[in-house]
Amino acid sequence: MKQFLLVFLGGGLGSILRYWISKNLNSYYSNFYLGTFLVNIIGCLLIGILIGLSLKHNYITQNQTLLLATGFCGGFTTFSTFALESNILLKESSILYTSLYLGLSVALGILAISFGLWVCKML
């Protein structure tokens, strides 16, 4: 139960920070979501550092990893988890599976959003 609370707390904090950054930076350019872009890149950097510290040096505990990597980075941006999993696939699998995962995730994600919008429009 403690682990769920750590993920919950970290996710809430990450989500609040993502909202604040996007709200304040996305309006700078009309054709580029600067806040979302920065959140995604920062989230990738952060999850890379956290997982690196956890795996290589054991500087952070499993509970800290749940709070910061799974919770905070997961709430801050799911893109960081997507990038981490893609990196793992690239290292542990083939370029074919990595490409399929990347391509299908992006393409089907966009199609799913379009379909959801279409269904709501038809109601």
Give the residue numbers of the binding site for Na(+). 74, 77
Write out the binding residues.
Answer: 74, 77
Alpha-carbon distance 113 to 78, whole Å? 16
